[in-house]
């Protein structure tokens, strides 16, 4: 009798659980409704603003607490549209010209859908050999682009932050840096390196090391003479130089550090050479741009973000280490309950090369678009962005009192209004006001930065949806807003 009542209770619960699976009809209804919404979203992008400064609409979520019974789909999607889609930065828009955007090609979303439905575990070869091989193939593509050969290895992380963490950890362990040595271990970087690297240094325990902020030259690149001199001085003083961090496309100005010369210095002193190429690295896919990155292939580790220069959705960064054994030394662990997986391993698994064990099969969002479209349209998009940057720069200098702070190497550079008859403070106020007015209007999104105590504006042209129309719109916003501000000042 107890078994019968138990079975009835199980059957009752099973009926509730089957709601999660749905039926062919309910699944189709949900998919079609969301697909229609996504299509309307994409169709609306050319005419939508790049930024909505008000955050009030996002508070609507508080009116929808999680309940036992849920809400109708159309109501929830309406909340999503009002509270997520509309306020803030429209990162999917071609008018996003401030921070490096994650444009999100639609076929990448199809890859994510496939990954989520099939739910293939991409962490261990034994569990998902095809998934692991797809991710390894994506790493090989990027490694080949930067010129790596031999026994390299890597990992598809959630972004540049975790990728940098993985690479710096590999360097720490490869050099046997121990806590008792931190006080005399030296790390070299610059004030224009990405702040996620500062976080990586702290998380890896290396914050207690000696850190040298190497001066930049007149082009905002690491001054290699100053770097070489500082290393020599540190050696003479009994310190232990360990790590040099360079950028292949800084966030502030988009410049590429002198990678080949830095590699020479690192070779001489047997230092770990790390290159943050999250933004710029995949411009190496263009044969005509490779000369700018000479020396990147000599780095011990490189980070690349396909969600930037391959226009994929946020959430994909790649750490590549020249000697895969250094990654294994940092990340490989064994557990008794994983003995089947270890015994049936044909190639290295992501779980052996990164902190992640449970992980999203994120390689599919990169693999599927590349398989469907091939590399040609991605390369064309990169070339188009470089030409749009040149066009924007040429048009800017025609505006009175605009100074180009640094000449663009790729698709990011800084500029500012600078009237020589005004004080620095007054010019700074004008540039700050210009940024605020552009944000308030929201037609396009441009960002600002502070370089040598000067407030500057930046442009980052890297959305695959940014074309000449969006560049002209940005130029018109700058001109009209400046004219109005100057009259007031």
**What per-residue confidence (pLDDT) applies to 338?**
46
Same domain (yes/no): 217, 318: yes
d(CA 148, CA 191): 28
Same-domain check for residues 368 and 387: no
The boundaries of the domain holding residue 440 are: 376-488
Q: Could you tell me the CA-to-CA distances from 339 to 126, 131, 343, 353, 356 in Å, in that order?
A: 10, 20, 6, 17, 18
Domain containing 433 — which CATH number?
3.90.1150.170
Spatial separation of the C-alpha atoms in residues 41 and 35, rounded to whole Å = 10
Q: What is the pLDDT, as a whole number, of residue 1?
A: 55
Q: How far apart are CA 331 and CA 350, in angstroms?
A: 10
453 and 393 in a common domain: yes
Choose one of 373, 388, 406: the last residue of a domain: 373
- Helix axis angle for 24-44 and 73-80, nearest 10°, is 30
pLDDT at residue 334 greater than cutoff 60? no
What average pLDDT does the chain have?
Answer: 91
In a domain, 1, yes or no: no
pLDDT band at 215 (very low <50, low <70, confident <90, very high): very high
- Quickly state the pLDDT bin for 133 (edges 50, 70, 90): very high
Contact 194, 251 (CB under 8 A): yes
Q: Do 212 and 331 sit in the same domain of this protein?
A: yes
Q: How far apart are the first and last CA of the chain?
A: 88
- Identify the domain boundary among 334, 355, 373: 373
Backbone angles phi, psi at 171, to 5 degrees: -65, -45
Q: Radius of gyration (Cα) for the chain, nearest Å?
A: 25
Q: Does residue 396 share a domain with residue 339?
A: no
Q: What is the mean pLDDT of residues 206-220?
A: 94
The percentage of residues in the chain with a pLDDT greater than 70, rounded to a whole number, is 96
Domain boundary among 331, 347, 373: 373
b/e string for 468-483 if b means 16 or more Cβ within 10 A? eebbebbbebbbebbe
Residue 13 domain-assigned (yes or no):
no
Report the C-alpha gap between 41 and 426 in whole angstroms.
41
CATH (domain of 155) = 3.40.640.10
Does 151 have pLDDT greater than 70? Answer: yes
Tell the burial category of 40 from Cβ atoms under 10 Å away from its Cβ (0-12, 13-18, 19+).
exposed
Say if residue 102's pLDDT is above 70. Answer: no
Residue 468 lies inside a defined structural domain of this protein: yes
Mean of pLDDT values over 112-117 = 94
Q: Higher-confidence residue: 106 or 53?
A: 106
Kindly write down the DSSP assignment for every residue of 277-299, as one continuous string. ETTTGGGGGSGGGGGGGTTGGG-
Averaged pLDDT for residues 102-129: 89
Q: Report d(CA 78, CA 352) in Å as an integer.
A: 42
- Residue 225's contacts (CB-CB under 8 Å, 6 or more residues apart) are none
- Residue 239 — very low, low, confident or very high, per pLDDT cuts 50/70/90? very high
Q: How far apart are the C-alpha atoms of 489 and 85, rounded to whole Å?
A: 36
Listed in sequence order, the residues at least 6 apart from 24 whose beta carbon sits closer than 8 Å to its beta carbon are none
- Please give the Cα distance from 385 to 379 (Å, whole number): 10
- Would residue 397 count as lying in a domain? yes
The stretch 401-414 carries a mean pLDDT of 96
Q: What is the pLDDT of residue 458?
A: 94
User: Quick check: is 423 in a domain?
Assistant: yes
Residue indicated by tokens 């008000």:
54
194 falls in which pLDDT band (50, 70, 90)?
Answer: confident
Residues 360 and 400 in one domain: no
pLDDT of res. 336: 44
**Residue 380 domain-assigned (yes or no):** yes
In the prediction, which pLDDT does 185 show? 95
pLDDT band at 136 (very low <50, low <70, confident <90, very high): very high
Number of domains in the chain: 2
- Residues 198, 254 within the same domain: yes
* pLDDT number for residue 123: 87
Residues 169 and 267 occupy one common structural domain = yes
Do residues 279 and 123 lie in contact, with contact meaning Cβ atoms separated by under 8 Å? no
Domain presence at residue 296: yes
Q: Could you tell me if 367 and 389 lie in one domain?
A: no
Q: Do residues 126 and 274 share a domain? A: yes
Q: What's the rounded mean pLDDT across residues 291-312?
A: 96
Q: Are residues 367 and 380 in the same domain?
A: no
Q: Look up residue 139 and give its two tokens.
A: 């790493």
What pLDDT was estimated at residue 339? 47
State the average pLDDT over residues 53-59: 71
Residues 383 and 361 in one domain: no
Asked if the structure places residue 63 within a domain, the reply is no
For the residues 145-170, what does the mean pLDDT come to? 93
**pLDDT of the residue at 99:** 84
Q: What is the mean pLDDT of residues 195-206?
A: 90
pTM beyond cutoff 0.95: no
Q: Do the bridges between strand 317-321 and strand 402-404 make them parallel or antiparallel, or are there none, so unpaired?
A: unpaired
Q: Which residue has the higher pLDDT, 248 or 47?
A: 248
């Amino acid at each position: 009798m107890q078994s019968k009542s138990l079975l009835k209770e199980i059957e009752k619960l099973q009926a509730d659980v089957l709601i999660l699976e749905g039926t062919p009809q309910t699944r189709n209804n949900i998919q079609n409704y969301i697909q229609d919404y996504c299509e309307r979203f994409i169709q609306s992008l050319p005419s939508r603003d790049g930024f909505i400064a008000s955050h009030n609409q996002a508070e609507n979520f508080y009116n929808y607490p999680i309940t036992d019974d849920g809400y109708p789909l159309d109501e929830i999607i309406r909340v999503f549209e009002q509270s997520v889609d509309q306020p803030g930065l429209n990162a999917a828009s071609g008018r996003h010209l401030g921070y490096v955007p994650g444009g999100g090609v639609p076929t990448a979303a199809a890859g994510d859908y496939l990954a989520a439905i099939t739910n293939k575990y991409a962490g261990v070869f034994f569990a998902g050999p095809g998934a692991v091989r797809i991710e390894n193939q994506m790493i090989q593509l990027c490694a080949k682009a930067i010129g790596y050969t031999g026994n390299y290895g890597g990992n598809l992380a959630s972004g540049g932050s975790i990728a940098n963490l993985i690479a710096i950890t590999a360097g720490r362990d490869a050099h046997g840096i121990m806590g008792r040595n931190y006080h005399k271990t030296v790390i070299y970087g610059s004030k224009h390196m990405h702040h996620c690297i500062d976080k990586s240094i702290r998380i890896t325990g290396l914050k207690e090391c000696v850190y040298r902020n190497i001066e930049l030259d007149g082009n905002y690149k690491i001054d290699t003479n100053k770097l070489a001199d500082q290393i020599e001085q540190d050696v003479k003083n009994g310190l232990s130089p360990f790590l040099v961090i360079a950028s292949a496309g800084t966030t502030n100005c988009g410049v590429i550090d002198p990678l080949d010369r830095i590699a020479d210095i690192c070779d001489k002193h047997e230092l770990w050479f790390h290159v943050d190429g999250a933004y710029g690295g995949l411009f190496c896919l263009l044969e005509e741009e490779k000369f700018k990155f000479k020396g990147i292939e000599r780095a011990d580790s490189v980070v690349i973000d396909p969600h930037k220069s391959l226009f994929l959705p946020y959430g994909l960064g790649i750490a590549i280490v020249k000697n895969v054994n250094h990654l294994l030394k940092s990340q490989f662990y064994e557990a008794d309950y994983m003995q089947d997986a270890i015994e049936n391993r044909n190639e290295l698994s992501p779980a052996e090369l990164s902190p992640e064990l449970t992980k999203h099969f994120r390689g599919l969002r990169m693999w599927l678009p590349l398989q469907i479209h091939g590399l040609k349209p991605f390369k064309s998009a990169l070339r188009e962005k470089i030409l749009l940057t040149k066009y924007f720069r040429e048009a800017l200098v025609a505006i009175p009192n605009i100074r180009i702070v640094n000449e663009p190497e790729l698709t990011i550079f800084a500029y500012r209004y600078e009237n020589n008859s005004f004080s620095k403070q007054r010019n700074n106020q004008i540039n700050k006001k210009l940024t605020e007015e552009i944000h308030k209007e929201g037609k396009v999104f441009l960002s600002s930065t502070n370089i040598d105590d000067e407030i500057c504006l930046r442009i980052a042209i890297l959305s695959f949806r940014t074309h000449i129309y969006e560049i002209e719109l940005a130029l018109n916003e700058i001109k009209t807003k400046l004219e109005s501000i100057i009259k007031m000042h």
